[in-house]
């Protein structure tokens, strides 16, 4: 007599056998045309980025980078093997990352209100990089941006301005 295990084995084996024979006897031209149409669809896809999206993309990239750093530091904080000094250092770095994000947003808002510019600001210690959405590279505008940003800080900062088309 055939028990349930043998019946399932024979059923699955016959199914695999039928599918493999079908695959082997299938014309190879059909497989090649399917692959070519998939490759064409992939190569035809293009991405166009508008001016507003450039600044948004920079902001999203910066946020993702910041979140990754915070996750790494949180692992140090929650690790029971970490010393008190390591935990204190990780906590201070997280605090610094959050405060720099707030400063960046403040500076972006200030540039929007005072100079009517859509800009991305990134603060890294005493270095501040500003990416402005403008077609025309204007030295006077760059100078005004630097003055506007420097007015928020008591210490001198190294400020760079980049114009994005």
Domain boundaries, the chain: 51-164
pLDDT of residue 1: 64
Which position has the higher pLDDT, 83 or 49? 83
Q: What is the pLDDT of residue 136?
A: 79
DSSP one-letter code for 80: T
* C-alpha–C-alpha distance, residues 68 and 94, integer Å: 11
- CATH of region 51-164: 1.10.287.4300
CA atoms within 13 A on the CB side of 91: 10
Q: What is the pLDDT of residues 100-158, one digit of tens each?
A: 899 999 999 999 899 888 889 999 888 999 998 887 788 898 899 999 999 988 888 89
pLDDT at position 164 is: 83
């Amino acid at each position: 007599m055939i028990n349930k295990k043998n019946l399932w084995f024979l059923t699955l084996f016959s199914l695999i056998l039928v599918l493999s024979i079908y695959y082997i006897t299938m014309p190879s031209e059909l497989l090649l045309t399917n692959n070519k149409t998939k490759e064409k669809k992939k190569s035809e896809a293009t991405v166009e980025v508008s001016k507003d999206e450039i600044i948004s993309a920079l902001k999203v990239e910066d946020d993702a980078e910041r979140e990754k750093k915070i996750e790494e530091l949180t692992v140090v904080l929650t690790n029971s093997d970490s010393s008190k000094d390591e935990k204190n250092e990780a906590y201070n770095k997280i605090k610094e990352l959050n405060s720099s994000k707030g400063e960046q947003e403040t500076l972006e808002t200030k540039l929007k209100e005072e100079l009517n510019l859509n800009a991305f600001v990134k603060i890294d210690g005493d270095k501040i990089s500003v990416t402005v959405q403008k077609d025309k590279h204007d030295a006077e505008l760059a100078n005004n941006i630097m003055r506007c940003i420097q007015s928020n800080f008591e210490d001198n900062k190294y400020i760079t301005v980049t114009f994005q088309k």
